Structure 1
Amino acid sequence: MNLVKPVRRFWWWCQSFLKKQQKLIFSAGLAGILLFVLLNNVLPLLPQFKSKKSLGIVGQYTLNTLPRQLTPTLGRGLFRLTDSGEVSADLAQGYQLADNGSRYLVYLSPEVFWNDGTPIISRDLAFDLPEVTVSYPDERTIEFRLTQPYSPFLTLLTRPVFKDKTIGAGEYSIKTISWQGPYLKRLRLTGKNQELDYRFYLSNPAAWLGFRLGEVDRLENLIINPLNESWQNKVEVTGNLNRQAYLVVLFNLTDGNLANKSLRQALAYAIKNKSGDTAGRALSPISPDSWAFNPNVKPYNYNPQQAKTLLEKFEAESSAGGLPAQAGRLALTLGTSASFLELAEAVAASWQETLNLQVSVKTVNSIEPGWQAILVAQEIPPDPDQHALWHSTQPTNLTHYSDLKVDKLLEDGRQISDQARRREIYQDFQRFLVEDSPAIFLSHPVTYTITRK
């Protein structure tokens, strides 16, 4: 009996409270329901606040030729490149090679999606590949028919893919693009929580000016550090060795003197300090990280005695060949851009000191008629195929280098699919090319990133 009375009193109290506060309780419940609906259905439709980053990159690029470090940000491709330049699966789960290497069947991975949430099917993917016919046998298969075998073909499929030219398969989609001629001027990407605004500059000075004017808050891919002491406390600077590019002295082999191999080798041996350290030294046109790199090519370490011996050999060969005797010291002109002027002057000083040559350094914006030697930076293609740079038939072979053995190796290397055989081909290619010295490979550059604090 004593237990029943307290229970009854509590029950009467609850009834009285609910009766008096029923409007308040109803209003609170309704507000909770409305808040739940708002959070789950309305807020996702409203514009979301996104952090924004403005970045500057030096160089002339298209969407298909962006630096390798930027490609993952732009999105995913059917395949991706490993650090050693090998191709591995990404959106595609694999491929089949047919018709002696001229037909590729690529199979999409199951459960892959665009970043708008829709599933990726084969017909979503458009490809602009010269001399390649693309068809779609089913929703998971893409067929590529080439006019002839081309073993580096899969590296072309590592480029980011898009639906309707804007929707990507990675974290970001393309918001807007502006162009300067055939090259990117500005690229704006939008993701779930962040927007990236890339501006592209033709030179390091132009990029640094854009940074000072506030166009960007971060500069990437700078080969030189433009900072003076007044900026040291305003920015953060990081530098990384870029083994996907090299600094090189190219020779014009149509020049009467530089057509001689002994002279070119003498100039190679005569350069001091080709790189600040061993890790940064470039030995060949293929990256030391590549699966095809040959570490056993002739290194041309500084050797003044060997350089002088080869110069004497050049003079003897020139005399025996009926060339007119050189009056006074041999004269050379070394061209370069303003960015590499200091390095070019150091190379010229080595040639003058070691070989007693008369060397003038000239700042140029492009290759001029009658040029002799030029110091430039060259990006390394992701595949070891170097046909465009060194085959005798190619207009992009700036040195006019011509060798039947090298031509044959370059032709075979892009037609044979077996990687072990390709490795042998490109190791031979490097050995013959470096021996002939149409160029002096100096170093892999340090590229800088500058971020405003």
Structure 2
Amino acid sequence: MRKLYWYISSYVRKHGWIFLGSIAIALLFFSFLLPLVNKKLALKKSTYIAIVGEYTLNDLPKPIKNQLSAGLTKIGTDLQAEPLLADRWVVEDDGKQYRFVLKKEVKWQDGQALKPEDIYYNFSDVQTISTPNEVIFTLPEAFSPFPVSVSEPIFKTEWQKKIFFPDKMKIIGIGQYKMLDYKLKGNNLSEFKIDGPDARYIYRFYLTENEAVNAFKKGEIDVLLNISNCYDLCDWSKLEMAKELAYDRYLAVFFNNTDPLLTKNVRQALSYILLKDYGNARAIGPINPNSWAYLQGGKDYGKDYDRAIERLMDDMPRNPLNFELTTSSNFIDEAEMMKKEWQDFSSFALEKCQVNKAIQDKNLCQNLDIKINIKISNFPDLANYQLLLIGQESSIDPDQYFMWHSSQPTNFTHYKNTRIDSLLEKGRKSLDFEERKTIYQEFQQFLLEDPPAIFLRYLDNYSIAR
């Protein structure tokens, strides 16, 4: 025993610092490092989320873009642009140049500092110049909604090298949620994975809401995000369901204004016939009611048979009012209700026409016998319709140039009104806030007087989770 004691004492005297250091390292490892490693290795909770629509890596859906990154600006509660990645901006050259000063110490998800030369938006006809602290956009003409345009999140990309698999493009944003992986079906996304600090989000893509709902029923996904209807899931128990009005999306009957049957008087009459009892969800125009430019008290075309008859008899149709109403499966019930309302009005219209002494040719009265054929298509042809019942998204800025200006190919209603064209041209060039507000309120007033659509209601927005 004494000999063993000498050996141990001699070893401790000679190597004591190593012995003590080993104990300290072991304590540190088991007390701090091992739990940290275990936490990093622990499986994060994965949530599977449905997205409806076709998207690509270059055209990500809004929820994914907003989760992954941020823009130079953000949108405030009144839908005006506010600084985000930009500290401030200055408008120069009568609205043709925008100079954004970047905030300091902003970093990409890969740890690289955000530099002005990193800012890229795929704008056409816009020149972008970088200085050490600023990014400058030069436009071909004045465009007052431009600060809203740069609220779109920014990204950069790099290619990840794979040894046994094809190289993959990686999307890098700003913030703590990072792209982890994705799957493609052809050129379109079928799955997109995002890694967060404490959870993982796997987005799966479906062409229609019905497909997404069926996937939810099969247990393929956990969350249905931003769908227009709860379908039969409303009757399911133990589900978390949130419903809100999407004021940036509205339902309307759009007229094909190239159809000779759809005169201004007929369009107004068709609107007066319908009951629009939607309460707070009632939409009377294309501009978001939360917008600073929204017109309160605009013409709402409440149900009024007398006004409808007046409009029709003021310029009697020379051909029968036979229409095809195209809609998607989401709005079949509303389409059927409209058909009934329009056709029920016919007997009232025929009776009034027969006793109206101003109508000399009573044969024309038969033209007021409205007939509606409903066509169902989940992908309606915007170039081939008479009446189209679909949802439409409102722009953040009140600028409605692309939707209603007669020169635009995106004006699928083929609406032509010189006064509306003039107001839309002025509204997007004016830099004066009050002047823009006046212009867009006039725009709403005149658009409703010569309606290119029957504005019905704001769409419901359901989010459903297990």
Report matched runs for 1:6-405 at 5 Å: 28-35=23-30, 38=33, 43=37, 47=41, 49-61=43-55, 71-138=65-132, 140-164=133-157, 166-178=171-183, 184-227=189-232, 232-258=236-262, 260-272=263-275, 274-277=276-279, 279-315=280-316, 318=317, 325-326=318-319, 330-356=321-347, 357-364=370-377, 365-367=379-381, 371-405=385-419
Cα separation, 1, equivalents of 2:76 and 2:260: 43
Distance 1:409 1:194, change over 3 A: same
Distance 1:79 1:309, change over 3 A: same
Gaps of 5+ in 2: 1-11, 159-170, 348-369
Offset of 1:101 from its aligned partner?
A: 1.3
- Helix, strand or coil: the match of 1:441? strand
Partner of 2:166: none
**8 Å CA contact 1:283, 1:441 repeated in 2:** yes
Larger deviation: 360-369 or 198-207? Answer: 360-369
Cα separation, 1, equivalents of 2:258 and 2:81: 38
RMSD: 2.9
Cα separation, 2, equivalents of 1:262 and 1:117: 62
TM-score (norm 1): 0.84
Cα separation, 1, equivalents of 2:55 and 2:396: 15
Offset of 1:125 from its aligned partner?
A: 2.8
**8 Å CA contact 2:382, 2:412 repeated in 1:** no
TM-score (norm 2): 0.82
Partner of 1:425: 439
Partner of 2:350: none
Cα separation, 2, equivalents of 1:387 and 1:93: 29
Distance 1:419 1:397, change over 3 A: same
1:191-218 Cα deviation digits (max 9, x unpaired): 2222211123221111112222333110
Cα separation, 2, equivalents of 1:63 and 1:94: 30
Offset of 1:290 from its aligned partner?
A: 0.7
- Helix, strand or coil: the match of 2:461? strand
Q: What is the number of residues matched between the two proteins?
A: 418
Cα separation, 1, equivalents of 2:415 and 2:187: 29
Offset of 1:326 from its aligned partner?
A: 3.4
Cα separation, 2, equivalents of 1:161 and 1:375: 34
Cα separation, 2, equivalents of 1:62 and 1:275: 39
Distance 1:84 1:64, change over 3 A: farther
1:58-78 Cα deviation digits (max 9, x unpaired): 234567876666654232211
Cα separation, 2, equivalents of 1:39 and 1:93: 42
- Helix, strand or coil: the match of 1:227? helix
- Helix, strand or coil: the match of 1:423? helix
Partner of 2:362: none
Cα separation, 2, equivalents of 1:181 and 1:24: 61
* Identity value in percent: 34
Gaps of 5+ in 1: 1-17, 319-324
**8 Å CA contact 2:117, 2:130 repeated in 1:** yes
1:10-44 Cα deviation digits (max 9, x unpaired): xxxxxxxx99xx9997764342244478369x839
Q: Which residue identity is paired with 2:150?
A: L
Cα separation, 2, equivalents of 1:388 and 1:159: 18
**8 Å CA contact 1:60, 1:184 repeated in 2:** yes
Cα separation, 2, equivalents of 1:164 and 1:291: 36
Larger deviation: 144-153 or 114-123? Answer: 114-123
Distance 1:383 1:65, change over 3 A: farther
Distance 1:408 1:179, change over 3 A: farther
Offset of 1:49 from its aligned partner?
A: 3.2
